[in-house]
């Protein structure tokens, strides 16, 4: 059975908000490409719970493993959760200069695609007019 703190219901919203912010941080790393959504969610909950102390997280995980015949051990899961935490801690936001550079690159890509679209449309129109000329 999961042990909750006496004020668990008071902190439930705070736990959810903090976990949501943790997930947002994770999405900026390679963690979503390397780990399952369930592992990402557990890591976010574990990190949030470390701050708010709502659930006895070790008992929670033990409960999960006692109900399932898992091919993985709790130790392996904890290794994965630690690795995800490590990815999040290592992440640094790009500087303002780097963001401007990325923005310029994106804008040039967008402009390049629009030029191709215009070129395709004009080729399409020229084909129509040549077919119309042949029919006359």
Query: Which residue ranges make up each domain of the chain?
Result: 8-90, 94-136
Q: What CATH number is given for 8-90 in this structure?
A: 1.10.472.10
Question: What is the length of the chain?
Answer: 136
pLDDT of residue 34: 96
- Per residue of the chain (136 residues), give pLDDT as tens: 455 555 666 678 888 999 999 999 999 999 999 999 999 999 999 999 998 888 888 888 888 787 767 777 889 999 999 999 999 999 998 899 999 999 999 999 988 655 566 666 666 655 555 555 566 5
Minimal CA–CA distance to 49: which of 9, 11, 90? 11
DSSP assignment, residue 71? S
Q: How many helices (H) and strands (E) does the chain have?
A: 6, 0
Minimal CA–CA distance to 47: which of 75, 26, 19? 19
Contact by Cβ (8 Å): 94, 102:
yes
**Alpha-carbon gap, residue 48 to 58, rounded angstroms:** 14
**Alpha-carbon gap, residue 46 to 18, rounded angstroms:** 10
Contact by Cβ (8 Å): 88, 29:
yes
**Alpha-carbon gap, residue 30 to 35, rounded angstroms:** 9
pTM of the model: 0.66
């Amino acid at each position: 059975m999961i042990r909750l703190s006496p004020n668990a219901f008071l902190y439930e919203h705070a736990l959810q908000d903090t976990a949501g912010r943790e997930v947002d941080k994770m999405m900026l790393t390679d963690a979503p490409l390397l780990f399952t959504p369930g592992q990402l969610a557990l890591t976010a909950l574990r990190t949030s719970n470390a701050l708010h102390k709502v659930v006895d997280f070790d008992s929670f995980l033990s409960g999960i493993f006692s109900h399932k015949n898992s091919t993985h051990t709790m130790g392996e899961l904890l290794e994965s959760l630690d690795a995800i935490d490590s990815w999040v801690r290592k992440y640094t936001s790009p500087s303002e200069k780097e963001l401007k550079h990325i923005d310029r690159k994106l804008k040039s890509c967008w402009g390049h695609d629009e030029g191709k679209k215009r070129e395709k449309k004009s080729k399409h129109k020229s084909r129509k007019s040549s077919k119309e000329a042949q029919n006359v």
